[in-house]
Amino acid sequence: MPLPALRVLANEIAYRQHFIDQYVQAKVVTRDGIRVHFAEHNFDHAFFESTMRDGSKDTFSTIRAQRIDWISATLLEPSADWYQGYVKQRKAYDPARSVTVAYGDFVVVLGFGVRKDKSMKANFITCYEADNSIGKIRTSPAWTLAGCRIALGV
């Protein structure tokens, strides 16, 4: 699994348009074939940082944005590690939320759900370099498609 190239674009506007073209308007699937939905507002959460470290993401991060193409590469990588996501409000791991790691400490977070026809879907939550938390992520319970289906009642 070679490291994907960094995407170098002119500015925030160009990165935002690339996100819309490659994710919001495109069909993205996981290695299990589950469609992942992206909303335009996800761009702000994934590619902005908090300068005051107070949770308010107020500054566009070129360093984060350069990894924009790593999202789909991570979701499709057959050897990626998938972990259950931790939900801070509930103080518990959630088998219907995944944190996927394929390239160093870059993670992609998804939330899973069920459509009316009982097929599974996923929503992109965020992506980031988990340099401070990768150790904790790697000790999380493994995410499995079967476990996710059970949690969702499918």
Q: Is residue 2 part of a domain?
A: no
Picking from 5-9, 58-62, 95-99, which range would have the lowest pLDDT averaged per residue? 58-62
pLDDT over 70 at 55, yes or no: no
3-state SS, residue 120 = strand
Domain count, the chain: 1
Provide the residue count of the chain: 154
Per-residue pLDDT at 54: 65
Q: Is residue 3 part of a domain?
A: no
* 47 contacts 61 by C-beta, under 8 angstroms: yes
Q: Is residue 121 part of a domain?
A: yes
State both tokens at 108.
Answer: 């992609």
- Report which of 82, 94, 109 is spatially closest to residue 151, judged by C-alpha positions: 94
Q: For the chain, give the mean pLDDT.
A: 95
pLDDT over 90 at 52, yes or no: no
Percent of the chain with pLDDT over 70: 97
Q: Is residue 5 part of a domain?
A: no
Tell me the residue range of the domain where 104 lies: 12-152
Q: Is residue 4 part of a domain?
A: no
